Chain A
Amino acid sequence: MKAFVVALALAACSPARESGVVLWHAYTGMERSALETTAANWNASHPETPLTLVAVPHDSFADKLTSAIPRGNGPDLFIFADDRIGAWAESHTIEPIEFWVDDARADRFSAPAMNALTFDGSLWGLPLATKSLVLYVRTDLVKTPPTTTDELIALAPMMKKQAGFAVAYANADLYGHAPWLHGFGGKVIDDDGSLAIATPEAAAAMAFARKLVADGVAPADAQGPMVASLFNAGKAATVLSGPWFITDIVKDVPWQVAPLPVISATGKPAAPFLGAESILMSAYARDKTAAFAVMDALTSDEAAIIRARDARQVVANPAAYADPQVARDPVLPVFRAQLEHTVPMPKVPAMRMVWTPYQNALGEVLAGRSDPGTQLLAVEREVEGYLKR
């Protein structure tokens, strides 16, 4: 009994908040070890401001941040994609950092990445890496990567003979569907922040996706694991996915990446969402100057080289690609080229509520149970209902 009380007391004493800077992240695997290397470098050169990394599971990460930070229980810095910056900025959860950033510092990063972190005239973080979808191609099934959607569809007859598909991607998700949406000229949020969901272009994009499924070019309702299984088993000639897909590819499969094709119907390139993973500063950080110093170091060119080399991140520092080891990686240049044709992820708070209704709409249309027009109207109505107040 006594042992229990002692154990309980010991366990209950949370360690006193260390001085220094605390950074939360949701990295796993290679990205985590690369981040830890850069953090160790900081700690070696700045022992008076120790940096502590805390790994948080990805699913509850955003909720934890939103609830912990305003109560002072959150980190000083955290790594997250840019899509929630609008909501966090409005609720004063994150700190604008243009105070510390001068032109020289801003020149370090690529323009799309910088733009992704801008909201309401302020800069809200420093970018680590950009993420977008690209085309993964099985080189044993496809000789040259398709450059237009017609070429992509032309792969279908051959693949059908092996009970396979020309392309597999997470089609029931807005993120996976976005390349077609933007390629047809549709969008989700207008430039002035209002909803632009139910448009003819968006309907055309949905009809295109439906046609892919109906013609057997793409599987119905595929998700991440399914897409990986199909690619690995040779049942999908190409896949639309992001940098994370590399770890899912089994060892002996020959593959390469290529930029997304051009939509034959409109002549515009398929443009996925651009996600900028960045370091953001909590508005309640205790020592903001020290926190920025850490932010600065972790996004320096040296740290970027480590991340590009070890974790194959598409880092936002153009200078990092001059490093010989990084330059040898065949994958990174393709991702960088794709950057030219991306649409920044809308950051307005309304965007957060679009995902689930859009996903439901896509599900209905792809299964052939409904037509794009009605579904898009329903999505717009539902999101407007959430935004009522």
Chain B
Amino acid sequence: MNRRLARGAIAPRPRIHDTGRLATIIAIHVALILLVAIVLYPVLLVCKKAFEPGRHFALSASPIPDHLTTDHFKDLFGARGGHGELLFLRHALNSLIVALSTTVVGVVLSCTAAYALSRFRFPGRHAGLTTFLVVQMFPATLLLLPLYVILDKLGLLNSLAGLVLVYSTTAIPFCVWTLKGYFDTLPRELEEAARIDGASTWMIFRKIILPLARPGLAVTALFSFMTAWNEFIMASTFMTDESKYTLPVLIQSSVGQFSADWGLFAAGAVVTSIPVMIAFYVLQKYLVGGLTAGAVKG
């Protein structure tokens, strides 16, 4: 095949007026639409439940609601806590603070470590890389009790800061691996040139590498945000004060074992998923590049 390439062969392009190709194209589009519909069906069901009255799912399977109501959203936004404060707003704020802080802390801690692991050879480098990989294998739910004891000793139980710390360390291994792979793909000539000019490592990192690494950083930030935004077991274990709960705890509690209010759940699910979807939409062009560049090379 390489010989053909060298001879500069011209390949045929799909000709639209060729009916065979046209049929294939239409078939593929239809298949895609069907697949998307199947994939989105559960989402549509939940959206339907959010706007339909009643605590339980209706018996029909169609994704179009029969009656519309905003009662569930009113219940969701209007729930008040023991001191009369608006619960949902409070929990959403908690979730936002925790998720954004986790993103900042996670990305900051990961990118420096990933850069060092990518560029420098130092004793303990291999051990460090292996550690970051191995750590992802320990199930977080089993670290729950030791973490509880440690946070207690540090006085960080029932505080958002404690939650941020725990989430950041959960997200770091994946972020370090992704970023390291991404840094590996960046050419070193720029850094070498800067070093000859006398720049310090920190300056090179800040002024040259970071701007180039935007896709990788975007993926890392998104992943850290999602880890914090979606986590509910640790949040419900470490937080005892109702005013410190995050959104997942609130939503999960509406479909408890004994009393399930699916309407409230659906409304909460819709509202909670929106920020993540917005983040996805904004960063989606980075996702494909940032996630795979490192994987392909590293």
Contacts and interface: CB of A to CB of B under 8 A. Distances in A.
Interface of A: 1, 4, 7-9, 11-14, 24, 28, 36, 53-60, 63-64, 67-68, 71, 73-74, 224-225, 228-229, 244
A114 to B, nearest CB: 26
A11 B257 contact: no
Contacts of B160: 8, 11-12
B187 interface: no
B125 to A, nearest CB: 30
Contact of A57 (B104, B236, B241): B236
Contacts, number: 81
Contacts of B242: 54-56
A298 to B, nearest CB: 15
A225 B257 contact: no
Contacts of B55: 225
Contacts of B249: 57
Given A4-B104, A71-B148, 9 more contacts: A4-B100, A8-B97, A9-B161, A14-B241, A54-B241, A59-B253, A64-B236, A224-B258, A224-B260
Interface in B100-124: 100-101, 104
Contacts of B256: 57-59
The binding surface of chain B is classed by DSSP as helix
Interface string B236-260: 1100111010000100110011111
The binding surface of chain A is classed by DSSP as helix
A54 B253 CA distance: 15
A57 B259 CA distance: 11
A56 B159 contact: no
Interface in B152-174: 152, 156-162, 164
B63 interface: no
Interface of B: 55-56, 81-82, 94, 97, 100-101, 104, 145, 148-149, 152, 156-162, 164, 236-237, 240-242, 244, 249, 252-253, 256-260
A73 B252 CA distance: 23
A15 to B, nearest CB: 8
A73 B153 CA distance: 11
A225 B158 contact: no
A229 B260 CA distance: 13
A4 B240 contact: no
Contacts of A14: 158-159, 241, 244
A64 B240 contact: yes
A8 B161 contact: yes
A18 to B, nearest CB: 12
Contacts of B148: 67, 71
Nearest to A7: B97
A224 B240 contact: no
A315 B130 CA distance: 61
